[in-house]
Amino acid sequence: MKTLLKKLTETASPSGYETVIREMIKAEISTLSNEIKVDPLGNLIVTMGKKNAKGLRIMVAAHMDEIGVIVSHVEKTGLVRFSNLGTILPQYLPGSRVVFLNGTRGVINQDKPDDLHKIVGQDKHFIDVGATSDKGCPVKVGDVGVFDRGFMELGKRVSAKALDDRVSCAVMIETMKKIKNSPHELAFVFSTQEEVQSKGATTAAYEIEPDLAIALDVTPSLDILGIKMQVDLGGGPAIKVRDVGMLSDPRVVRWMEDTAKKNKIPYQLEVLEVGTTDARVMQISKAGMPAGAISIPCRYVHSPSEVVDMNDVQATVDLLTVLLNNPVSLQ
């Protein structure tokens, strides 16, 4: 999947501007289903199969947007001030490069700090695009961009921007190729605007009305920091128990755990104290539904150089495939 991951992560499509990544994904999956559509909020929804007497309507969501920047002000010196699309962590900003959707590139740095040893807020940073005046600046208020960082192989691991959540998009694409005689009606949703309050998954779940919902996303791997509540890189996909936005249905957690054990797929359990996923909004859509999430361990989340282990990625494909190819037993 490295070739696919490189294509997906090197595409610039921040929240609200998913057209380019959506068209790339659409081309990848065009032969897998005759039911492919784009809804009014830009979600790419792919329906596969019909549910039989033992089947369910299952929605699987992976968000295709990425965090980004949006120009808020251009100073007379030509330096660009910016706001965020999604959560941007200030410690990753100085020295980072960005590319705007109009092709303009720039480098981020910060105002002179009062204390060189302290992290300053996002509002104290600017983007230098090489302009010497506001009138000569190639970007204007409202222009958007993303981190400018290429895909890099690190042995069995890879680094790139936007692995959150393009790696889950790749997992979903590979899983779709492996669906054989599933008893379920499967709605695969490449969702929009997850980084800005899961807007795409909210409307998609409302329309689809699934019997069961699964979100695919990354989760911070904090093993290198020695934090007790952790998910280890290389330890297998993490079955979500809780995050700050939701409690997974215990029946869904048991079903995922039992399936992983039965098929000898490595897995971990996730209790996350920061962040949430599309599962939060799917779980409470309309009258509500059983929901859970499978998370891919990722180091340096929301940085220009996120890192995942390809063994975890493949194990996530394996787990999701066997979950969807067989009847669901929620007890």
Residue of 326, 280, 291, 294 lying closest to 184 (CA atoms): 326
Rounded distance, CA 271 to CA 30, Å? 36
Within a 13 Å sphere around the CA of 68, how many CA atoms are in the beta-carbon half? Answer: 25
* pLDDT the model gives residue 196: 96
On the 0-12 / 13-18 / 19+ scale of CB atoms within 10 A, 100 is buried
**DSSP conformation class of 249:** -
- Provide the 8-state DSSP code for 218: E
User: What pLDDT digit, counting tens, does each position of 108-159 carry?
Assistant: 999 988 888 889 999 999 999 999 999 999 999 999 999 999 999 999 999 9
Cβ proximity of 51 and 60 under 8 Å: no
In contact, 181 and 258? CB cutoff 8 Å: no
Model confidence pLDDT, tens digit, residues 16-43: 999 999 999 999 999 999 999 999 999 9
Please determine, looking at this structure, whether the domain spanning 68-147 carries the CATH number 2.40.50.140: no
Residue 194's CB is within 10 A of a number of other CB atoms, namely: 27
The domain ranges of the chain are: 2-66+161-325, 68-147
18, 28, 66, 194: which one is catalytic?
Answer: 194
Residues near 116 by Cβ (< 8 Å), separated by ≥ 6? none
pLDDT at residue 223 is higher than 90 = no
> How high is the pLDDT of residue 302?
96
Catalytic residue status for 194: yes
Indicate the SS3 state at residue 255.
helix
CB 240 within 8 A of CB 294: yes
Of 3.40.50.300, 3.40.630.10, 3.10.310.10, 3.40.50.720, the CATH number of 2-66+161-325 is: 3.40.630.10
